[in-house]
Amino acid sequence: MNLTTSQYTVLAYVVGLGLLLGYALAQWVQAKRLK
Amino acid sequence: MKSSRNIFVPIYWTVALLALAAAVTLLLRYTPTEETMGPIQKIFYLHLPLAINTFFAALTVCIASVGYIAQKQTYWDDLAAAAAKVTLLLATGVLATGMIWGHSAWGTWWTWSPRLTFSLMLWLLYAVYLIVRSSIESPQRRAIVCAVYGLTAFLDVPIVYLSSKLLPDVHPSSIQLITPMKITLLVWFVPVTMIAAGLIATRFSLNRIQRRREQERREKSSRVTVAVRAGANGRRVPGGLA
């Protein structure tokens, strides 16, 4: 994969924040179903 | 009490998301680009808060495990389970951002340096913790086995921290930052810590609800069993379903 350093930086933020916010969203959906 | 909690939760998440938006804006508009590494160094502002919060989440598992061993209360077990999930999530984030940084800076996705190896071990330890949890059916047995495991798994955290300081490592043990970079780093700690703590708290409350439901289901099924047995013996069960 040949990306520029700026693209690698964006990729890292998308992956890192995507994990956190994705899990938060999944929990929110589960909370809605349980309540 | 319940209504104040209902207001607190959306306010908490709104503040966390606003802090995240502020941190991103700061990163794009204010933070200077590091001279030797270039834009790739900006991964650091997410990578380090994720790593520190991984340690705090693992510490929460350890404290909750000690709490369960000492008091045998189910909320300690639920807290340990919640924190272990978030530890694994955060460790995944640390490894992923680190690998992307490594691929750009060192030209390889992975190298078996002490810091990276012990970080991968941390990820595996908490992945195994969750596998162990799901493989034991008895709630009491599961709680005590996981408490002992959670306590032991924490031993890897100081090893990860000290590995690049005590052993020769390609991973830097510290990075020199100028003041605007330090400010950005401090600002990034706010949303990442808030999100990590919020995820543990939400997971914990979901675990409590699931445990209550499971208990109710178990009680109901045991009442049905008693009623069926009593019915088979031709007796009436006071308050039973028969």
Is residue B6 one of the residues assigned to a domain? no
Residue A19 with chain B: CB contacts under 8 Å: 89, 92-93, 96
Residue B239 belongs to a domain: no
Comparing alpha-carbon positions, the chain A residue that sits nearest to B91 is A16
Q: What's the pLDDT score for residue B235? A: 61
- Whether B57 maps to a domain, the answer reads yes
**Distance between CA atoms of residues B196 and B57, nearest Å:** 8
Provide, as residue numbers in chain A, all residues whose Cβ is less than 8 Å from the Cβ of B13. Answer: 24
CATH number of the CATH domain containing B221: 1.20.120
The CA distance from B220 to B20, in Å, is 45
> Domain residues for B162?
11-232
pLDDT of the residue at B171:
80
Q: How many structural domains is chain A composed of?
A: 1
Is A13 part of the contact surface with chain B (CB cutoff 8 Å)?
A: yes
pTM: 0.89
Give ipTM to 2 decimals: 0.94
Of B105, B193, B24, B196, which is closest to residue A14 (Cα–Cα)? Answer: B24
Instruction: Supply B49's token pair.
Output: 């808060």
How confident is the model over A12-29, as a mean pLDDT? 96
A20 interfaces chain B, CB cutoff of 8 Å: yes
Q: Do A24 and B46 touch (CB under 8 A)?
A: no
C-alpha separations of B174 from B53, B161, B165 in Å: 17, 11, 9
Per-residue model confidence as pLDDT tens for chain B (242 residues): 556 667 899 999 999 999 999 999 999 999 888 888 889 999 999 999 999 999 999 999 999 999 999 999 999 999 999 999 999 999 999 999 999 999 988 889 999 999 999 999 999 999 999 999 999 999 999 999 999 999 999 999 999 999 888 887 778 777 788 899 999 999 999 999 999 999 999 999 999 999 999 888 888 888 888 888 877 776 655 554 44
- Which residues form the domain of A14? 1-35
Cα–Cα distance, B9 to B19 (Å, whole number): 15
Nearest to B187 by CA among B56, B49, B91, B95: B49
Q: Is B3 within a domain?
A: no
| B241 found inside a domain | no
Q: Is residue B5 part of a domain?
A: no
Q: How many domains does chain B have?
A: 1
